[in-house]
Amino acid sequence: MDSREASALVLDAIGYAVAGDAERAADTIATLGTGSDANLMYGACCALAEAGKFALQKIYGEQAARPEQGDMWVFEQLQPGALDGDPAKAFAMRFLVAYCNGDTDTTLALWVASLKASDEEHVDSVCALLVNVAGIVRLAIEQQAD
C-alpha cells in the first residue's frame, strides 16, 4: 500500500466513524493496518490528528490555541487519574494534544511506545485516536450546522 491509498483509507475511516458506522470504520482501519508498515501507520495517525486539529480550530475559532505564538493545547481530566486505567484512551488524547502543539518528538515517542505494547493495546490505541477525532469532527460539523 502506498501513502495515497493510505490517505484515502484514513479519510474513509473518519467519514464512517463520523457517520456512526463503527463497523465500516473498524474494517477500514483494519485494512489500513494490515496493508501498512509502522511508518505508514504513524503517518495515518498523524493524518487522523491533523483532522482533529482542524476540527478543534473550527470549534474554538479565534480562541483556538496557536502554538506558533506560544499557546499550547492541553487536555484536562475532569476526574484525576481517569485515563490511568485505559492506555488506549490515554495514548489517543496525548497523541492528539502533542500533534496539535507541533510536538513531533512526543508524537513519535507515543507511537513507538504503542508499538512496544501488546498487539491488542496498539490496535486499541489507533482505534481510540480515530474515535476521539471522529467525535471532535462530528462536534465541529454540528457547530457549523447551527
Q: Which residues contact 71 (CB under 8 A, 6 or more apart)?
A: 65
Q: What is the pLDDT of residue 79?
A: 66
Residue in 17, 20, 14 with CA at minimum distance from that of residue 49 = 14
Q: What is the pLDDT of residue 116?
A: 93
Q: What is the pLDDT of residue 56?
A: 93
Q: What is the pLDDT of residue 94?
A: 93
Number of domains observed in the structure of the chain: 1
> What domain range includes position 61?
3-145
Q: What is the 3-state secondary structure (H, E, C) of the chain?
A: CCHHHHHHHHHHHHHHHHCCCHHHHHHHHHHHHHCCCHHHHHHHHHHHHHHHHHHHHHHHHHHCCCHHHCCCCCCCCCCCCCCCCCHHHHHHHHHHHHHHCCCHHHHHHHHHHHHHCCHHHHHHHHHHHHHHHHHHHHHHHHHHHC
Q: What is the pLDDT of residue 43?
A: 92
pTM of the predicted model as reported, rounded to 2 decimal places: 0.88
Q: What is the pLDDT of residue 71?
A: 87
Tens-of-pLDDT digits for all 146 residues of the chain? 888 888 898 889 889 988 889 889 888 988 888 888 888 899 999 999 999 999 999 999 988 889 888 888 887 765 666 677 889 999 999 999 999 999 999 999 999 999 999 989 998 999 899 989 999 999 999 888 77
Q: What is the pLDDT of residue 10?
A: 87
Burial 30-59 (b: 16+ CB within 10 A, else e): ebbbeebeeebbbebbbbbbebbbebbbbb
